[in-house]
Amino acid sequence: MQTLNPTEGKDLVSPEDDALLLRRPVARDLDFLSTYSPSADIARMAGYACTKEWDPELEGLRLLDRIKASPYGWLAEVNGRLVGHVRLSETEMSQQRGRLATGLFEDANLGRGYGKRAVALALDHLFQSEGFHRIDLRVLAYNRRAIRCYLACGFSFEGLEREVFNLEGVWHGDWIMSILEHEPRLMPHSADRLLA
């Protein structure tokens, strides 16, 4: 398997950043998740019209439950602070495939490489330790930041599902992207760890 150069692209790991840790959620994580409200930009990238629709307690509990429900779901932490999440929202083990879902929590976490680092670490674990052959995802076509992240991690564009999501009266499509276990991909940063 070929690897992609981990220093390519704009979002480099800065020397002052500590290791990124992917870990299973614990009860105390609800303290943060139940009070967190995304910025308007992050909410829109996740498909919310605005943060007025966001009930922090309900959404925090919902996300925590989704991550816990997946045996392949983790919270991303840097310097003891939650920065995002990555999980397989669907799996079909008979076909060794899963569907990736990710997100970062705050604007301060954008553009720092955390998304790439979390995805690279999760992919490495899923392919090397869990026996997956294919990981795919859906991303709103206007979410260019996420698309750049997935492309940098080695995902390929498979197609566009047109007009599947209506946000504020405007229809948007989903990019369908995937990566196979033998394809070149971004390898995890040497300091990063996944606690299974």
pLDDT of the chain, 196 residues: tens digit per residue: 555 544 343 334 444 568 999 999 999 999 999 998 888 888 888 877 765 667 889 989 999 999 999 999 999 999 999 999 999 999 999 999 999 999 999 989 999 999 999 999 999 999 999 999 999 999 999 999 999 999 999 999 999 999 999 988 999 999 999 999 999 999 999 999 999 8
- Domain 17-195, what architecture? 3-Layer(aba) Sandwich (3.40)
pTM of the model as a whole: 0.89
Residues 143/42, Cβ–Cβ less than 8 Å: no
Q: Which of 76, 66, 75, 101 minimizes the C-alpha distance to 87?
A: 101
Residues 101/90, Cβ–Cβ less than 8 Å: no
Going through the chain in order, the beta strands assigned E by DSSP cover 3-4, 20-23, 73-78, 81-92, 97-104, 134-140, 156-167, 170-180, 185-186, 193-195
Query: How do the domains of the chain map onto residue ranges?
Result: 17-195
Q: Which residue has the tokens 């829109």?
A: 44
